[in-house]
Amino acid sequence: MESQIIVTVDVVLLTLSEGALKTVLLRRDNEPYAGQPALPGGYIHPGEDRDALAAAGRVLRQKTGLVSPYLEQLFTFSGGVRDPRGWSVSVAYYALVHESLLGPGPRHHFELAPVDALPDLPFDHNRIAAQAAQRLRDKSGYSALPCHLLPPAFTLRELQQTYELVLGSSLDKSVFRRRLGELDFLEAVPDAVRQGKHRPAQLYRLKPQARLALFNKTM
Amino acid sequence: MESQIIVTVDVVLLTLSEGALKTVLLRRDNEPYAGQPALPGGYIHPGEDRDALAAAGRVLRQKTGLVSPYLEQLFTFSGGVRDPRGWSVSVAYYALVHESLLGPGPRHHFELAPVDALPDLPFDHNRIAAQAAQRLRDKSGYSALPCHLLPPAFTLRELQQTYELVLGSSLDKSVFRRRLGELDFLEAVPDAVRQGKHRPAQLYRLKPQARLALFNKTM
């Protein structure tokens, strides 16, 4: 048997807030780096966690109260220098949530920081967060992934704005709508419109199979 | 500190052989499952390996003699039931090699098995191999990945046959060539042609930046 390796999970919890893609940071309770903001994370508990995904769900639930439906494995970070406690492996996950799921009122227990302007984080958490943002951007061109940053029903205009925020560039409306038609993951919500300044806008949602299939596809 | 978790790496080494996508299996030296064919794998050695990728390279080198240039992280498999020794994490990698790199002559130390008709393997190695094959297929539609199953220079006809073998379906020649033009990862090898039954065929290779960029992109 080899000498002991530290095995943890970390979660990049992404949301759109104030027009920017942000990630949830928590102040660390324990050493190392106690008191500093960092990605939510913790040890895998072999007696309690079925697998690393379950550990990530538990950590998120315990530390933020969130029960996130879509935790996707991002990458496993490892090595002898990333954690001062010793040789470590962190199985990293990411999740996309609409800001309303983060709860109303003052957020004593966590903060939101823009993924493109994060403070210096402990361990290799800057690298993990950057890789999650890049993954989201890479997948946005051909998937329904950004829909999870919206509430369950949304207008096509809101959806285009979300893609634009994630991709960091503006999209041509007609090209965007043709692409949506090809991808075929949306359906109109019956009899649901949003009243705006001009004419009412139809609300859409993910088709049930798109909602389920989204994260089951191999990345 | 939590109770000890077993931390290993496993490698799915894919190649095209006799017209099928195959993976390398090794007979296990040690318990559990001693003597049975399995994916090449082993413990991470914290005193020796810089990170999990380095561990995968070392394991592959020590057990097959192969020094593979392109090891890509596939997924991390974990849990309390996948290894009879206890709660375990395996960081899995995959690599694509041309069959000639597997060496000439009799292969006493390993065997090749078709990924779509593998025997029952120990641990969750069937699942790991299936996920590697699926990843390759998912990425083949929009990447140069299958080129690594060919020798460094190849004809467009050989390339199309390779994509067809990987994808398991025939491709229209004109559509395939237009897609290659869009992806723009090939260059002609100057003054290199392959003599065939009919007219000589130009040889192509990956552009240097495509060769380097291939696996640096976030998956």
The whole-number pLDDT of residue B216 equals: 35
Taking CA B187 as the corner, what is the angle to CA B186 and CA B190, rounded to the nearest 5 degrees?
A: 155
- Which chain B residue's Cα is nearest to A73? B75
| CB-based contact A72:A94 (threshold 8 Å) | yes
Sorted by where each begins, the domain ranges of chain B are 6-139, 144-213
Cα–Cα dist B185/B141, whole Å? 13
The whole-number pLDDT of residue B64 equals: 85
The whole-number pLDDT of residue A99 equals: 85
The whole-number pLDDT of residue A219 equals: 26
Q: What is the overall mean pLDDT for chain A?
A: 88
Residue A2 DSSP one-character state: P
Mean pLDDT of the A33-59 span:
96
Instruction: Count Cβ–Cβ pairs < 8 Å, chain A vs chain B.
Output: 84
The yes-or-no answer to whether A6-139 and A152-213 have a common fold is: no
Predicted confidence band of residue A3 (pLDDT cuts 50, 70, 90)? low
Residues in chain B where the model's pLDDT stays below 70: 1-3, 68-69, 103-108, 142, 211-219
Superfamily in which the B6-139 domain is placed by CATH:
Nucleoside Triphosphate Pyrophosphohydrolase (3.90.79.10)
In sequence order, what are the beta bridge partners of B90? B8, B77
Which two structure tokens, joined as six digits, stand for A118? 């994060």
For the stretch A134-185, pLDDT in tens is 999 888 876 888 998 998 899 999 999 999 999 888 999 998 999 898 888 9
CATH topology of domain B144-213: Arc Repressor Mutant, subunit A (1.10.10)
- Chain A partners within 8 Å of B87 (Cβ): 44, 46
Global ipTM: 0.86
Cα–Cα dist A69/A98, whole Å? 12
Q: How far is B55 from chain A (nearest CA, A)?
A: 10
The whole-number pLDDT of residue A217 equals: 37
Spatial CB neighbours of B200, under 8 Å, sequence gap ≥ 6: B193, B194
Do A47 and B3 count as a contact with CB atoms less than 8 A apart?
yes
Do A1 and B4 count as a contact with CB atoms less than 8 A apart?
yes
Do B218 and A7 count as a contact with CB atoms less than 8 A apart?
no
Cα–Cα dist B168/A50, whole Å? 35
Which two structure tokens, joined as six digits, stand for A169? 């560039």
The whole-number pLDDT of residue A167 equals: 87
CATH number for the domain whose boundaries are A152-213: 1.10.10.10
The whole-number pLDDT of residue B182 equals: 84
pLDDT higher at A104 or A77:
A77
For the stretch A126-146, pLDDT in tens is 999 999 999 998 888 768 889
- Chain B partners within 8 Å of A75 (Cβ): 73
- Residue A212 scores a pLDDT above 70: no
Which of B46, B86, B87 faces A2 most closely, judged by CB atoms? Answer: B46
The whole-number pLDDT of residue A84 equals: 96
